[in-house]
Structure 1
Amino acid sequence: MKPEIIKISQIPIDQSVVCILGSDKLPERLNLSKSEKEFVRKQLGAKEEYIYINSYSKCIYLIRLKEGISHYKIREELRKTSYKLRKLIKANNHSELVITSDNAYKGAIEDFTEGLLLSIYSFKKYKTKAEEGDNKNFPSKLLLHGDIDDSEINWLVELTDAAYFTRDLINEPVNHLNATALAAEIKKIGDSAGFEVEVLTKGKIEALKMGGLLAVNKGSVDPPVFCILDWHPANCLNSKPFVLVGKGVVYDTGGLNIKTGDYMAGMNGDMAGAAIVTGVLHTAAKTGIPLHIIALIPSTDNRPGGNAYTQGDILTMYNKMTVEVGNTDAEGRLILADAISYASKYNPELIIDIATLTGSAAMTFGNKAIALMSNADRKYIKLLEECGNDVYERIAELPSWDEYGELLKSDVADLKNVGGREAGAIIAGKFLEHFAEFPLIHLDIAGTELLKKDDFYRLKNGPGSGLRLLSTFFKRIAADYKEKN
């Protein structure tokens, strides 16, 4: 369970404390004894990352901020330290824990708290037996002491709430979360947060002739859905909406081009894009971001059963283009293409799609960067880069030269859905570009989302990569609109 976050004005004398230090000076309010001060000074001199003091009635965790590196890296190192401290904090079984700072940058308390909250998430919904360490708990309350705006606390609460349910959705197995069940969960989240959700079922999808989504669904016994999420506040600052598109493949077997070995493991998380855009809409609605934001989620599983689509099939997409299927395991781009085409009806300012799309993106950037391709105004790329540094969900841009599009040419249709082994992530992005009538930013999170082990607070099995990036991106856009007006 996620701890409650509470702002306090004074630190109780017997309360356990995390204190973030911006210098080697020790704050008197920690009430350290002479021997404790000597110990701390010695540890600071040794450049220890953190210092732990057990004073019997309470515990004190001191963190000295790094120096000599970029500010955004200082922030990230602090989040990483929270991950490193998580086991010690749990072992001490605090019911409450104060987080404060001294001579640190404004926002340090929030950064540590965010890192800790993301580090202690777990998915144990289906566990029936207690495990070692279950008799110890993380704090049920985090007490924040310092110069913190109420709006920033609200942002922290809502963004981490979104991170928790996003991770929950990603971790759910497909036998509990098929496309229909995913739509129901999204509807619940919308009702709670205050944004509209419309769910198009198979009959409506057929009427719209979304050939990509319908083809991928042909091997499944469960019907597809197409979810439309709409946050349209009365005070919105933009005349044209921003449209997000999230890939909602609730399980990807690869279809008839079936995944082999362990490549199918974790494919219940292939709907991470869908969960992430839902989290962004939640954060926007709950924090009152004054922007009109729409999210489109095409959802199905990709299976080899029944009348599954095959290599060589020719599909007619929503925008009436024809596509030759070269590989049934390149299904994500087919359902995204229909959604990107559908986005045109809103006359959007910008379309952003996010998906665990290609192994090529993971091979290119590993888990260090989100692959980006775009034909949008460079101001949006620059802002994404800044936001990516701030939250350390960094982007790395791939070229979108016309020559790459040549590899998608088909002898029998307008284009193919694959273009060979080389430049796979770029080819996928070029494919999607054919379906965008408005500026498009394509984010491939395969490397940063499908993790085999923890990357500090970005936990394995679905960290929700891109949620914090896009939420911060829209927060910044709204601030820019206000400044100009």
Structure 2
Amino acid sequence: MNCTLLTGDLANHATPCLVLGVFAQEPLTGAAAAMDRASSGQLAALWQKGDLSGDAGRTLLLYALPGVAAERILLIDFGKSAECTRAKYRKTLTAAIAALQQLHAGAAVLALPEQLPEGLDLYAAVRDVVTLAAAGTYRYTRTKTDKKAPKMPLTALALWLAADAEMRSAELALTHGTALAAGTQLAKELGNLPGNICTPTYLAEQALALAEQFAALTVDVLDAAAMAELGMNALLSVARGSRQPPKLIVLNYRGGAADAKPVVLVGKGLTFDAGGISLKPANEMDEMKYDMSGGASVLGVMQVACALQLPLNLIGVVPSSENLPDGDANKPGDVVTSMSGQTIEVLNTDAEGRLILCDALTYCQRFDPEVVIDVATLTGACVIALGKHATGLFSPDDALAAELLAAGDRAGDRAWRMPLWEDYQQQIDTNFADMANVGGREGGAITAACFLARFTKTYRWAHLDIAGVAWLSGKEKGSTGRPVGLLTQFLLNHCANGAG
């Protein structure tokens, strides 16, 4: 998807399709009003016939409007202006992209509505267009024949601006949005790949391929022997059940001062999770290929940082393995010793994500980090708590939590803070080790975060549980690429390169 910006006389701009925003049962404004004047009132006459119902996301296609050079006019209804939230704005843009995909246009010009939703400035509005256009035109084709592919898919979208004065903010949004869209697409593609292709070795290869693209990025891949030498027995205990060798993937982007402490992102890279001996139910187990979505999002964010040449030091750590039943796999009741020296009783082998993450979090101490954020499809309990809409955010650091929440709001990739009180720690106490890897049914997402907290006491830390948001099920099954948007915005804000 190629997105560009343009200004000038919109009526005289030749394009296969001109997309105009209107508000339900309200006078035409902005670009739509200008096109109505150019057509001597013909646009308003057609619009007022009532074919748009007033529901946000409805579209109406018009042809050969007199006085307008565009071959087609696609009206998109944003609903009532007083009720137009960012969610409705995004819903309407998504519907417009879907409609454009079905036309034989291939390219289009989009004029944003003159009145944006409350709290949404031009920068965010333009960036939303870029990222939503990329999302709406992405199709997974790696392992299938795409029989339903559009005959002439949308490949070019120009955003029309009313004034040159808006160009600077829009250009920044276009730059950020383009990089964010590419990073999100990388995360989506990795997530959508089946587990027999996207193995720990494959993830490592993709990280090495990124390093070949960007001079500021280096990648080290630790194998099982190297991890054993470091004492990463918790991570290795999970990998024992699989024939696929585990990898610890370390990506190092140097964009800041040599002495600046790095931001470290840790992404769970469980490329398939059958639950181990504590075998999962067969229903929808195929979706456990998405258990590496945290690692995929870290690779996506690293690509964004490199593409934008962000002025900070950023490290990505992706512990990667499979979790399968085998004669050498973890058994309930086994006790393993983590890299930190703390012992863990494995009461449920399906709570493996925290086992591979805890060693990776201990490994992060060597970087003397400014902050560490881990990202993981960690618990079904988080899905029960927050559904498919918000990432679960856990942190003992109020300031860090506030930064992440604000970044999520700004990016339209929201999180919700959950408690991390000491009260919950007792649930993972056990008679046979320093801690158990599960704490019972009650507060499962919280006790999982409490487990990780025991390995993060030497630095500022936050945990993002993305089990509910990393992919969609059912008819729309597929990776969402979240939370690449949230983390990218956090980095933009962090290095003062954001737009507010």
Distance 2:250 2:126 in 1: 36
**Is residue 2:421 matched to residue 1:401?**
yes
How far apart, CA to CA, are the structure 1 residues paired with 2:272 and 2:181?
A: 25
For 1:111, the equivalent position in structure 2 comes to 128
Question: TM-score normalized by structure 1?
Answer: 0.91
RMSD of aligned C-alpha atoms?
2.4
Shift in Å, 1:27: 3.4
Normalising by structure 2, what TM-score? 0.88
Q: 1:327 to 1:474 in 2, by over 3 A?
A: same
The DSSP-based 3-state class of the residue aligned with 2:203 is helix
TM superposition shift of 1:33: 5.3
Partners of 1:109 and 1:481 lie apart in 2 by 14
1:469 Cα deviation (Å)? 0.4
Q: Which has the higher contact order (CA 8 A, sep 6+)?
A: 1
Match of 2:61 in 1: 53
**Amino acid across the alignment from 2:477:** K
Q: Distance in 2 between matches of 1:76 and 1:46?
A: 18
Question: What is the CA distance between 1:110 and its match in structure 2?
Answer: 3.3
Deviation at 1:123, TM superposition (A): 0.7
2:376 equivalent in structure 1: 355
Give 1:342's aligned amino acid: Y
The whole-number CA distance in structure 1 between the counterparts of 2:72 and 2:499 is 44
The CA deviation at 1:291 is 1.4
Identify which of 82, 105, 109 aligns with 1:94. 105
Corresponding letter in the other structure for 2:137: I
Rounded to whole Å, the distance in 1 between the matches of 2:110 and 2:16 is 10
Per the TM alignment, residue 201 of structure 1 is displaced from its structure 2 partner at its CA by 1.3
The Cα of 1:347 is off from its aligned counterpart by 1.4
Equivalent pair of 1:196/1:229 in contact (CA under 8 Å): yes
Amino acid in the other structure paired with 2:21:
I
CA distance in 1, matches of 2:39, 2:453: 61
In 1, the alpha carbon distance for the partners of 2:59 and 2:350 equals 50
What residue number does 1:224 align with? 246
Aligned to 1:387: 407
Judge conservation of contact 2:16–2:105 (CA < 8 Å) in 1. Answer: no
- CA shift in 2, pair 1:120/1:453, >3 Å: farther
CA distance in 1, matches of 2:92, 2:498: 35
For structure 1, the 5+ residue unaligned runs are: none
Deviations 1:15-51 (A, max 9, x none): 4112335873233257445332222245599635344
Q: Distance in 2 between matches of 1:135 and 1:397?
A: 41
Q: Hey, what does 1:5 align to over in structure 2?
A: 3
1:233 aligns with 2:244: no
1:271-286 residue pairs with structure 2 within 5 A? 271-286=292-307
Matches within 5 A, 1:238-249: 239-249=260-270
Partner of 1:35: 42
Which whole-Å CA distance do the structure 2 matches of 1:465 and 1:75 have between them?
Answer: 18
> Paired residue for 2:119?
none
Alignment of 1:429-444 (within 5 A): 429-436=449-456, 437-444=458-465
Q: By how many angstroms is 1:235 displaced?
A: 4.8
Q: Could you say which residue in structure 2 is the equivalent of 1:85?
A: 96
- Cα 1:214–1:332, aligned 2, differ >3 Å: closer, same or farther? same
Find out whether 1:420 has 2:437 as its counterpart. no
Separation in structure 1 between the aligned mates of residue 345 and residue 197 of structure 2, nearest angstrom: 33
Q: Deviations over 1:227-254 (max 9, x none)?
A: 1111111457x82211111000000000
Written as runs of structure 1 = structure 2, the 5 A alignment for 1:39-438 is 39-41=46-48, 43=50, 47-49=54-56, 50-56=58-64, 58-65=71-78, 67-68=81-82, 74-105=85-116, 106-107=122-123, 108-128=125-145, 131=147, 133-134=148-149, 136-146=151-161, 147-149=166-168, 150-194=171-215, 195-235=217-257, 239-376=260-397, 378-436=398-456, 437-438=458-459
Distance 2:499 2:159 in 1: 29
**How far is 1:255 from its partner?**
0.3
Is residue 20–residue 104 contact of structure 1 (8 Å, CA) maintained in 2? no
Distance 2:76 2:257 in 1: 42
Superposed displacement of residue 438, structure 1: 1.3
Q: Deviation above 4 Å: which 4+ runs of structure 1?
A: 41-46, 480-483
Superposition deviation, residue 283 in structure 1: 0.8
In structure 2, C-alpha distance between the alignment counterparts of 1:45 and 1:137, rounded to whole Å: 25
Unaligned runs of 5+ in 2: 65-69, 117-121
Deviations 1:446-470, CA, capped at 9 Å, x for gaps: 111242147xxxx632101111001
- CA 109–33 in structure 1, closer or farther in 2 if over 3 Å, else same: farther
C-alpha spacing 1:404/1:102, structure 2 compared with 1 (3 Å): closer
- Please say if 1:470 is aligned against 2:487: yes
CA distance in 2, matches of 1:109, 1:275: 26
| 1:240-276, Cα deviation, whole Å (9 max, x unpaired) | 2111110000000000101113141211110000010
